[in-house]
Amino acid sequence: MATTTHYLKLSNVTIFYRTAGSPTKSTILLLHGFPTSSHMFRNLIPILSQQYHVVAPDFPGFGFTTPTVDYKYTFANLAVTLGEFLDALSIKNFSMYIFDYGAPIGLRLALSRPHAVRALIIQNGNAYTEGLGEALKEPLSRWGSGSKEDHEMLRAGFLTYEATKSQYVLGTPHPERIAPESYTLDYALLSSPEKQEVNLDLLLDYKTNIELYPKFHEWLRATQVPTLVAWGKNDIFFTPPGAEAYKKDVPKAEIHMLDAGHFAGETDGGDWGVDFGVFKEQRLVSLRRYVEFLWSQSKAEWSFSPLCLGYF
């Protein structure tokens, strides 16, 4: 089914989003990270839409979403906006695919509506201090100071073209598989002075996500939401211990390590086969649908045990 693009006007922001699949089917919400947008899911959406209703919004500050001039760029507010977006579309229950920034935003949303999330698919989406790599520890130690020096350190480390490209290519054994339009588009949409300042605000606010980690863990323990973690093991920002840590709170979580970097989804493989299943009332209902993802880092075929993507 073809992917379509839409704009949805809310009180203080116009959300751009991509969607495909019938709204009568179970919904999968795809939440992007920094420095990208829903564009990162362009290959995945058509595949999932064969069996699911897929919705992928651009967060304020990213992609083609346009907030009002007085929009407050904090992770707390992004989560509120995401909730308003879902309410406007009358989406009450959903599975979430969370990546990078999409992880704390999606988990904040889960705290506000704890029974709405039917399943989690986590790709390099950190929620544990164990997963904070050395590439983040030095910036994190200086974030929040408000000094001009630290602002410029963040700008140079995260908001240049070279920094944007490096997030895609570092850690992958096959950089030739990464489409250059991916990081080029990201930087083009982040390069204006206004977007630079917006993203500095969010970088400085990232510490508030870490403060909420214990609350995220409580929600995971309480709900035991069906969880699959697929993690690029060569990610220098969010490292493999962050993936393994999910089992502390969701012991039945499936953990799969990929020979990939931060953007494990940006390859041209089509060789990763995933056996999708559905969880209903915490019981596995096997659908045995063999679906190809277009984001494998290796040329091997993977056959996961049933993965939870819906609630039927």
Catalytic residue, candidates 32, 151, 217, 262 = 262
- b/e map of 261-288 (b: 16 or more CB within 10 Å)? bbbbbbbebebbebbbbbbeeeeeeebe
Q: Are 60 and 33 in contact (CB under 8 A)?
A: no
Instruction: Classify the phi-psi angles of 90: left when phi > 0, otherwise alpha if psi is within -120 to 50, otherwise beta.
Output: left
Q: Cα–Cα distance between 262 and 240 in angstroms, integer? A: 11
Q: Which two tokens stand for residue 228?
A: 């699959």
Q: Cα–Cα distance between 235 and 41 in angstroms, integer? A: 19
Q: Are 57 and 98 in contact (CB under 8 A)?
A: no
Burial of 57 (0-12, 13-18, 19+ CB in 10 A): buried
Q: How far is CA 244 from CA 79, 128, 229, 240, 241, in A?
A: 25, 10, 9, 7, 5
Q: Cα–Cα distance between 226 and 119 in angstroms, integer? A: 5
Q: Give 216-256 as a DSSP string.
A: HHHHHHHH---EEEEEETT-SSB-HHHHHTHHHH-TT-EEE
Q: Which run of H or E residues covers position 138?
A: helix 134-142
The answer to whether residue 262 is catalytic is: yes
Cα angle: 94, vertex 24, 57; to 5 degrees: 45
* Location of structure tokens 């308003």: 84
Q: Which two tokens stand for residue 74?
A: 């904090």
| Residues annotated as part of the active site | 262
